[in-house]
Amino acid sequence: MTSLEALPLLRDLVRIPSVNPRGGPGDGGETAVAGYVRDWLARHGVAAELHEVLPGRCGVVAVVPGRDPAAVLLESHLDTVETDGMTVSPFDGEVRGGRLFGRGACDAKGPLAAFMLAAAELARGEPPPHTVVLAGVCDEEHAYRGVLRLLDVLADRRVVGAIVGEPTGLAPAVAHKGVVRYTVRTTGRAGHSSRPEEAVNAVSLMAPVLAHLAAVPPDVAPHPLLGPATRSVTRVRGGTGPNTIPGSCEADVDRRTLPGEDPEAVWQRDRAELAGLGAELDPPFTVDPALDTPPGTPVVDALCRALAAHGRPSDVQGMPFGTDASKLARSGIPSVVFGPGSVRDAHAAAESVELAEVTLAASIVVAAVRGIEGRSAENALGGRASGGGRGREGERSCEGERSCEAAAGSTAVRTSRGPEGHGSADPGPGGMAVRTPRGPEDQGPPGPAPGGTAVPGSAPAVPEESPCD
């Protein structure tokens, strides 16, 4: 495989806009990308089909048969973030200095292209030790409904491990942070701005809350790969007009959690902490678990050995961002995050990826898949969010501990609240917001599988008029 092979494939993918609609109308182009992936793979000897996730929004699943029907999953996402503020043309696929520019080039069409090249290479040679399933999923940038639908599609298939495509700079990432997002509110009394003494300014009430959030970090020990938990204010809203004292103010808080933290306990602690400053907290509108896969699992071990064979660093690392891997891991599929590109270039104004890195990623994935020979699903350790292992911050040896304590309360939940990701969530025990499944258009997360390897669930029916046909 060469960069010349990666260029036309990745450029075609980038030229198909697939901006996540975030609850708005349409699919943003995800289905068009899924169709392209299916057709490209078919031309390279790999059978693939589309699956409807939401009305008009499709993912794609391809299979390379192996000697063992138990599968290795290669998963990446089709959608991208918005293009506002970009300083390069988002959908031209311009190439300069060996890098391809455009929205999604790095996150995550570069990893997707690497997986497609790997699947084509595996299909050309001797059957791999395990069947390979390549999945391109939708909605990763918003509500993770693509990976949840994928778990339904894989319900009857045993999966020994997953490589999840994200920009890690070709590092094997076995851990990443989770997130709890909630809204904090202050309430005053509105009034005319000419008579402020008769009103209570809710924005002024919010000021010490914001100062506290900026100055006081979460009280939790750092993780050896991920460092400290963080808490950030991402949006503030208050006031109705320039001549009215605001009677209410609200701020959105992004709390990045570490493996072992219980999302509900995190929210409850923050609620008690901020209540002392006169603020109230809404139940979280987003909850997503952290990831901490034991480094000795077969899929991680095979990837590390493939990296070493290609002259690349093979120490496992942690990433600060969330991925589909935590949902796969919670369902019993040991998962590692890997791909070309740097997270610094993801979502960036001049997003890009090095073409040679895409090609190298594909070769490493081929070697990793072929390197799991003789390691059955029964040998795969459960990859649910778990802790353990020691090493330098952000890095851990592949020869580290082979078992880790399971984290408490790692419920995989993503909620939304409308077009901007701010819709309804059903309160669970203790007021915790949890997503309740309501059918094919609103898939909730599946429960853990017995034995930790089989994926539960049943695939919802696809309408006859599905655009995924």
Residue 14 CA, distance from chain mean position = 19
Whether 140 is catalytic: yes
Helix, strand, coil content of the chain in percent (nearest 5): 25, 25, 45
Cβ partners under 8 Å of residue 450, min gap 6: none
Q: Alpha-carbon distance 302 to 307, whole Å?
A: 9
Q: What is the largest CA-CA distance in the chain?
A: 81
- State residue 419 phi and psi, 5-degree precision: -55, -25
Q: Read out DSSP for 185-230?
A: EEE-B-EETT-GGGSB-HHHHHHHHHHHHHH---SSPPBTTTB--E
- Is residue 32 classed as helix, strand or coil in its secondary structure? helix
Q: Alpha-carbon distance 89 to 119, whole Å?
A: 29
Question: What dihedral angle (degrees, nearest 10) is formed by the CA atoms of 156, 51, 457, 47?
Answer: 10
For residues 255 and 180, the answer to whether their CB atoms sit within 8 Å is yes
Three-state SS for 384-423 is: CCECCCCCCCCEECCCCCCCCCECCCCCCEECCECCCCEC
Q: Alpha-carbon distance 447 to 433, whole Å?
A: 17
Q: Which of 79, 252, 262, 288 is catalytic?
A: 79
Residue 244 CA, distance from chain mean position = 41
For residues 192 and 199, the answer to whether their CB atoms sit within 8 Å is yes
Q: Which of 27, 52, 140, 270 is catalytic?
A: 140
Query: 159-165 and 335-338 as β-strands: parallel, antiparallel, unpaired?
Result: parallel
What Rg value do the Cα atoms of the chain yield, rounded? 23
- Contacts by 420-428 with C-beta closer than 8 Å and gap 24+? 420/22, 420/23, 421/22, 421/23, 421/142, 421/143, 421/285, 421/286, 422/285, 423/23, 423/285, 425/283, 425/284, 425/285, 427/283, 428/264
For residues 107 and 167, the answer to whether their CB atoms sit within 8 Å is yes
Write the DSSP symbol of residue 119: H
Whether 12 is catalytic: no
Q: Alpha-carbon distance 190 to 199, whole Å?
A: 6
Cβ partners under 8 Å of residue 458, min gap 6: 152, 155
Query: 68-77 and 130-137 as β-strands: parallel, antiparallel, unpaired?
Result: parallel
State the catalytic residues: 79, 140
